[in-house]
Structure 1
Amino acid sequence: MNILLFCCCFFAKGQQRNTPWKWNEFVIGADMSYVNELEDAGGVYKMNGRKEDPFTIIKSIGVNTVRVRLWHTPAWKKQLNSNGKMYSDLFDVEKTIRRAKQAGMAVNLDLHYSDTWADPAHQSTPAAWASLSFEALKDSVYQYTFSVLEYFKARNLVPEMIQIGNETNSGMLWPIGKTEDAAGWQRYAALVNSGMKAVKDFSATTTIKPQIILHVAQLQHVDFWLENLIKNGVVDFDIIGLSHYYPWSNYTTMKSIGSKIDSLQTAYHKKVMIMETAFPFTNANADTHTNILTLNNQLENRYEATENGQAAYIADLFKTVKQNKGSGVMYWEPAWISSPMKDLWGTGSAWENAAWFDFNGNLLKGIRFFKK
């Protein structure tokens, strides 16, 4: 059975369905945070050789949810772009959410609570909050979260899901919210609770009630992280969000990933969702920007850095998560194609070999497996 036939069989015959999944049944997500910036830099997306709106393209292949990051005040972006614009700020995110909803997709709003990238090694407090006390910082998290949601409510753009932080393995809003000791965990938990309370208070006023996601990178870290959060009073959330990238994971087989997804639901009684994942369709490079994700040998004696290998890996990961009662999978930056766009580390893309589009901007044929 070839890759495309396998994928169609799983999502159509295997589940006895002939319509796409709705987001609240099983999330098939794509992080599209870079798209506005990429298009401004000259990036072009195609399907069957024809230029198309990338949001329309991903919707047509079965994607039902768009993830988008929000930075507080990313002023550094102005220095990188000849147009002097900020991206991943409130106004850029508004554009992304509008495009997603106009295309008929749900939205996951990823609050980084930082002016720049937030991840396990970086959780810098926004410059506007840098001198605040702990109590003032808690209040700022609440007010900011609530006001962002109110902003989108006024524009009929309320997200269906919202992340209180991004890959917060060691806390957020450092140094105050860094989990170096017991007191740090207490402060981090209090900051998370402030953000969640803002979402809950907002939800009392609106039809769309965003589901709350907490997000940790890599499956091997989730139990320690969650146990400490729960011990410090963080309980009122909906989804355990996970990043899963094979080079940095201790879970190296689909079987082990599925077992972990299942055990997390049993242990914590929460929905479990993969918020970020990716796989290369080639090890080649379309520009001078060094690729982050490569694969020198077959993974699990099956998956390799080819178009068929990428399609098989993604199909099997979705199948594994679904069969083990997971609530969805979101792919990180599938539209980060090569272009003259600059980031902090180079010009072009560090991810074009793991995108869903080839080096000419055409949608890869294997990605059509999302269509049931």
Structure 2
Amino acid sequence: MRQLARSTALMCLALLLAATSSLPALGSVGGVGPSNPGFEQGLDGWKVSGDAGAAKIEGGGRTGDRLTHWVAADYHVTTRQSIELPSSGWWTVSVWAKSGGSLSGSTLSVAGCGRTVSTVVALTEQDDAWVRSAASVYVSRRQRCTIDLTTAGPGGTWASFDDLAVARGRVARSIRGGDLSGLAKNEAFGATYADADGRSGDAVRILARSGMNLGRLKVWVDPADGYNDKAHVVATGKRIKSAGMKLLVDFHYSDRWTDPGAQGVPHAWRGMSPAQLADAVYAHTRDVLAALKAAGATADYVQVGNEINPGMLWPWGQTWDVDPSDGVDGAQWDNLASFLTSGARAAKEISPSTKVLLHLTNINNGIGSLTWWFDEVVARQVPFDQIGLSYYGYWHGSLADLQEAVTTLSSRYDRDVLVVETAYPFTLADDTPTWENIIRQPDQLVPGYPATPTGQAAAFRAVQDAVASAEGGRGIGTVYWEPAWTSAAGAGWDPEDPSSGNAWENQALFDFTGTLLPAARNLAP
């Protein structure tokens, strides 16, 4: 009897294996995938159309072999495969890719099961590293779809693909924000704005109609020029909320700019002990956020500090010995933890639903430079909800570096990641009044992305897509830094120097006439 039961079980297993042998190979957990997803069997399972000779299998893939599209003359080629999505819901097709030679030359598309969804494969000329691209489609029932890998362009345009996968879920550019901190000052000095059709209007409304769904505002304690203080943050915050957007408040805890090179103590806080500084952080944070709430503009997100890799409120909150001559030796992690905790506590007291972010930069220094920092604050039980990063491609490494940061940080600390600053130039020219641009030379640009309106749009979208497509699915969006900071005489960068100018206007999302640029289309869902 036992032998019969065993034989029956083996027969059932054999029948089950036979019945499932024709189903698509499993991809990610909970998903299905194409056959031969890594091209280890050449082009088996794939069909090539167009200039078929342009599609070839090569070694040097991400894992094993790869599909490469390339030919010396103008060409158009598509390598495709039909797959079956077994049930209703959102499904995501992903591929690891490299490309070069022309903007928007290669795409990943999902077609034949509703609206065709496409994503442009990012240029990787910067470091030739693999970047994950992904496109999501919704199906209402079991349905067949087609995966298309397409490259088209002038001779020399190329792309390589490897390790396709299909899995349940959706990638989305959920947060499509913009930092409007400089808008109030710009408007006060005469800046005007118009949509892409030349119709004049409020920059906040123009950007919101383009699809921007979050506004970011920095706040200083007692700035010399009177801007970016509590009153201006509340006024602009109300405009952001009225336009239907969410609000992110970026606390610098200083009277002026803070970044890895400057984390100065506000003048009114000088001479305070670390304990008193923690109390001042709490009081200032609570005061600003309470004023916003009273005005009907409760902050949805709060940054406790800005680009605080080296700490904040130097030297008392430094993460390394910034100035060996100041009498405060070495890293002051316990002090920093108390400052961060005070800010987070104030934010949650005003609005428990407000998300608290901790914001770092310089991912080009390696993922270890970020995990080192977060390990220290996590060990001290600093409360935070999300991780914020700055990413400017001309400073902070490649898109592959960005994806590694998003994936590693979200996994290691179980938090979503938001890129709270990014930008790219639409020209290298300088508007009047002239003030030397920060990015002004061709050799400063990200390889493959020119300083043109089209290049700016492509570079911005590449960052958005890299964040959304990073493994783990916890890159929640991107905030464009100062899209409305056009050149206006008197509205310079230095709050203590009225004669200072604007070195950023060539990276705004409005051109030198104040007209909205094509890159703003990427603010749409």
Do these two structures clear the TM 0.5 threshold for a shared fold by scoring above it?
yes
| CA distance in 1 between partners of 2:469 and 2:440 (Å) | 28
| CA distance in 1 between partners of 2:456 and 2:117 (Å) | 17
Cross-structure match for 1:259 = 404
1:243 maps onto 2:386 in alignment: no
1:358 maps onto 2:503 in alignment: no
CA-CA distance at 1:297 after TM superposition: 4.2
CA-CA distance at 1:260 after TM superposition: 2.5
| CA distance in 2 between partners of 1:230 and 1:293 (Å) | 36
Cross-structure match for 1:82 = none
Which SS does the other structure have where 1:118 is aligned? coil
Cross-structure match for 2:360 = 216
Equivalent pair of 1:66/1:108 in contact (CA under 8 Å): yes
Equivalent pair of 2:117/2:137 in contact (CA under 8 Å): no
Cross-structure match for 1:307 = 453
**Which deviations, in whole Å up to 9, do the C-alpha atoms of 1:225-269 show, x marking residues without a partner?**
2122223332x21111111122322x22x2332232112111111
Q: What percent of counterpart residues are identical?
A: 36
| CA distance in 1 between partners of 2:517 and 2:500 (Å) | 23
Q: 1:228 aligns with which of 373, 376, 379?
A: 376
**Which deviations, in whole Å up to 9, do the C-alpha atoms of 1:139-163 show, x marking residues without a partner?**
1111221222222221111110000
List runs of 5+ in structure 2 lacking aligned partners: 1-75, 77-102, 109-115, 120-133, 139-171, 322-329
The aligned runs of 1:125-164 (5 Å cut-off) are: 125-164=265-304
Cross-structure match for 1:27 = 175
CA-CA distance at 1:298 after TM superposition: 8.5
The residue type paired with residue 93 of structure 1 is V
**Larger strand percent:** 2
CA-CA distance at 1:222 after TM superposition: 1.8
The residue type paired with residue 418 of structure 2 is M
| CA distance in 1 between partners of 2:261 and 2:390 (Å) | 14
- The change in CA–CA distance for 1:348 and 1:46 in structure 2 (over 3 A counts) is farther
The aligned runs of 1:1-372 (5 Å cut-off) are: 10=118, 14-16=135-137, 26-47=174-195, 48-74=197-223, 76-77=224-225, 86-180=226-320, 184-204=332-352, 209-219=353-363, 220=365, 221-234=369-382, 236-249=383-396, 251-252=397-398, 254-287=399-432, 288-294=434-440, 296-297=442-443, 301-324=447-470, 325=473, 326-340=475-489, 341-344=491-494, 346-372=499-525
Which SS does the other structure have where 2:436 is aligned? coil
By relative contact order (CA 8 Å, sep 6+), the higher-ranking structure is 1
**Larger helix percent:** 1
**Which deviations, in whole Å up to 9, do the C-alpha atoms of 1:115-144 show, x marking residues without a partner?**
111111111111111121111111111122
- The change in CA–CA distance for 1:336 and 1:25 in structure 2 (over 3 A counts) is closer
Structure showing greater radius of gyration is: 2
- The change in CA–CA distance for 1:342 and 1:124 in structure 2 (over 3 A counts) is same
Q: Which runs of 4+ in 1 moved over 6 A?
A: 5-8
| CA distance in 2 between partners of 1:184 and 1:244 (Å) | 26
- The change in CA–CA distance for 1:289 and 1:183 in structure 2 (over 3 A counts) is closer
| CA distance in 2 between partners of 1:316 and 1:107 (Å) | 24
- The change in CA–CA distance for 1:31 and 1:300 in structure 2 (over 3 A counts) is closer
Larger mean Cα displacement after TM superposition, 222-231 or 318-327: 222-231
The residue type paired with residue 480 of structure 2 is Y
Which SS does the other structure have where 2:253 is aligned? coil
Which SS does the other structure have where 1:92 is aligned? helix
| CA distance in 1 between partners of 2:431 and 2:117 (Å) | 33
Cross-structure match for 2:53 = none
CA RMSD of aligned residues (A): 2.6
TM-score (norm 2): 0.63
The alignment covers a number of residue pairs equal to: 350
Which SS does the other structure have where 1:51 is aligned? coil
Equivalent pair of 1:291/1:350 in contact (CA under 8 Å): yes
| CA distance in 2 between partners of 1:211 and 1:35 (Å) | 24
Larger mean Cα displacement after TM superposition, 106-115 or 216-225: 216-225
Equivalent pair of 1:165/1:215 in contact (CA under 8 Å): yes
- The change in CA–CA distance for 1:164 and 1:50 in structure 2 (over 3 A counts) is same
The residue type paired with residue 237 of structure 1 is F
| CA distance in 2 between partners of 1:299 and 1:285 (Å) | 16
TM-score (norm 1): 0.87
CA-CA distance at 1:10 after TM superposition: 4.7
| CA distance in 1 between partners of 2:200 and 2:487 (Å) | 16
Equivalent pair of 1:123/1:173 in contact (CA under 8 Å): yes
CA-CA distance at 1:179 after TM superposition: 2.0
Equivalent pair of 2:177/2:215 in contact (CA under 8 Å): yes
Which SS does the other structure have where 1:247 is aligned? coil
Cross-structure match for 1:80 = none
| CA distance in 1 between partners of 2:400 and 2:447 (Å) | 14
| CA distance in 1 between partners of 2:510 and 2:394 (Å) | 22
Which SS does the other structure have where 2:340 is aligned? helix
CA-CA distance at 1:201 after TM superposition: 2.6
Equivalent pair of 2:318/2:331 in contact (CA under 8 Å): no
CA-CA distance at 1:303 after TM superposition: 1.1
Equivalent pair of 1:28/1:329 in contact (CA under 8 Å): yes
| CA distance in 1 between partners of 2:284 and 2:507 (Å) | 34
| CA distance in 2 between partners of 1:56 and 1:6 (Å) | 32
| CA distance in 2 between partners of 1:216 and 1:262 (Å) | 15
| CA distance in 1 between partners of 2:493 and 2:456 (Å) | 25
